[in-house]
Amino acid sequence: MRKTSFESDLLPKSEGEKVFQSLLDEQYALLSAKSGSLGLSEMIYQQLKPKVDKK
């Protein structure tokens, strides 16, 4: 995912910034795994529910 983001050669990332970003990504992954979901299914359900209820 990180490789798809835009990076400029004008301000290259330092090693410290790369380590921090890696640790932050790891924490995001752990939090997502603990929650059991990303909430996408609930959002999709709420968007489609009115259409199903009308039938």
How is residue 47 written in tokens? 């968007």
Residues with Cβ within 8 Å of residue 7, at least 6 apart in sequence: 13
Given this model, what pLDDT does residue 12 score? Answer: 85
Q: Which of 31, 30, 24 is nearest to 2 (CA)?
A: 24
Average pLDDT over residues 29-55: 81
3-40 pLDDT, tens digit per residue, is: 667 777 888 889 999 999 999 999 988 888 887 767 78
Q: 2 pLDDT band (50/70/90 cuts)?
A: low
Cα separation, 33 vs 19, in Å, equals 21
2, 21 contact by CB (below 8 A): yes
Average pLDDT over residues 32-55: 80
Predicted confidence at residue 19, as pLDDT, reads: 95
Q: Domain residue spans in the chain?
A: 14-53
The whole-number pLDDT of residue 27 equals 93
